Amino acid sequence: MHRPRPSSRRSFLKASLAYGAVSAAGGSLATSRLSPAILRAAEAARQQNRHVILLWMPGGPSQLDTFDMKPDAATGGPLQEAQTNVPGIRFSEHLPRLAKQADRLALLRGMSTAEGDHARGTTLMQTGHPPGGPVKYPAVGCTLSRALAEEAPRAPEHDALPAFVSIAPGPLVQQSPRSGFLGPQYAPMTVDASAPGGTRSLAELRVNFLDRHAHVDPLRQGRRVDLWRAMQDDYLAGRRVDNALAHDTVFQAALDLVDSDAREAFDLTQESAKTRAAYGEGIFGQGCLMARRLLERDVPLVEVSLGNGIAWDTHADNFAQVRRLCGELDQGWATLMDQLETLGLLESTTILWAGEFGRTPVINDNGGRDHYPQAFSCVLAGGGVAGGQVYGATSADGSEVEDGKMNAQDLLSTLCGAIGVSPHTQFDTADGRPIAIAEGQIVRQVLS
């Protein structure tokens, strides 16, 4: 396996001390012979909050034109593969910046499910369960953000921010079960987006209703809130039911955010023009920048989608579309990892790149690839991931998984393993039934 890239002194201290020196001290920092400064660094590393970024690719990205290319196959297509910074690992020529960071990536080329419909595939990959049945399973973003928030409470100045933020999720994700049986208090805050246009050279991201109306001054706003609170308390006094309490929790959280300085996390105008340009002008790139700002303020989980609607649904003109989409992906994702590394956050942040399925090896008459859940790729990167490797393999034409087959439950369980959360962590449904976050196998070969 490729040796991970050398890290910074700060990263080295955290990794070596937190997992080595502390153990060598017999499990007790107090009895160690290490200097007080080093002991404090080790303890800080142990307590560092974990984060997750889900890079969601709606529509189903073509694995054969991104991370599992088959240039020698008859249906390999015109796109070329290129060498990465890891000997033996090659992927699309249109991901040159990510190619220089392949030592941070673990390519999972053995993904396989049975759901070839967009909505059903989205639900399966987001929750680990196919749609239907009596239980409304929550998306992994909701379960993991809850687990991470409960495990490591944030600083008071960041407490008003939600535990899960979804940036430009698109219709398929929004229609899929989000918080499920957890209730609306664990649903993500959604950030809406509009692409560059008119006088705007950059995508615009916004949280609706975060700003007060111009004609409502703070005093008047306060009176309105006091009136709402009085009416709400009276209503809840005789109606202590789950739905009413969840609504109250969500509404109060929104009010807290409006009145908090933490809302500045969503204001990208505070970033320099150079920084914003580095991420790319589109929704995905600016979404990655917002994700970085949210992680800096200890938001446990952020989801960023690439493409309005189902952009990766390339039934026609696949190769030109993939080239364009890869340009956005490459710039935003690579810049995000570079900046997280600079800020000392990459080692505590796990990134998952995924869509609802892959695309067919066969190229159709419109120069496109159709839905194909039987064999496709996902990617893990960042903290907890042993980068610079490929797990799983498909056949020479990409039609089937020949080694390292993984399903949606395996993927979500492995993500849990990377961030140090047990996939067996359970949350109860309304009728008291315990449900685990995931029930698959952890692929430990890709974990550091």
DSSP code, position 49: P
Which pLDDT value is given to residue 145? 95
pTM for the complete prediction?
Answer: 0.85
Angle between helices 140-151 and 408-419 (to 10 degrees): 20
Strand 164-167 with 189-194, pairing? parallel
pLDDT band at 23 (very low <50, low <70, confident <90, very high): very low
Q: End-to-end CA distance of the chain, in Å? A: 12
* Alpha-carbon gap, residue 348 to 420, rounded angstroms: 10
pLDDT tens-place string over residues 139-162: 999 999 999 998 877 777 787 899
| Mean pLDDT score, 96-114 | 98
Report residue 299 as tokens.
């938001």
Which pLDDT value is given to residue 170? 80
In CATH terms, 50-205+267-446 corresponds, of 3.40.50.720, 3.90.1170.50, 3.40.720.10, 3.30.1360.200, to: 3.40.720.10
Backbone angles phi, psi at 393, to 5 degrees: -150, 145
Output the CA torsion 310→316→319→321 (10° steps). Answer: -40
Which pLDDT value is given to residue 36? 54
* Alpha-carbon gap, residue 140 to 423, rounded angstroms: 10
pLDDT tens-place string over residues 226-259: 787 788 777 777 776 666 766 666 676 777 777 7
pLDDT tens-place string over residues 344-368: 999 999 999 999 999 999 999 999 9
Least confident residue range of 11-20, 76-85, 186-195: 11-20
Which pLDDT value is given to residue 18? 36
Q: Tell me the domain boundaries of the chain.
A: 7-47, 50-205+267-446
Consecutive H or E run containing 92: strand 90-92
Closest by CA to 240, choosing from 252, 229, 248, is: 248
Helix ranges (H only) for 27-83 are 36-47
Which pLDDT value is given to residue 246? 65
Contact 86, 67 (CB under 8 A): no
Closest by CA to 55, choosing from 93, 3, 91, 105, is: 105
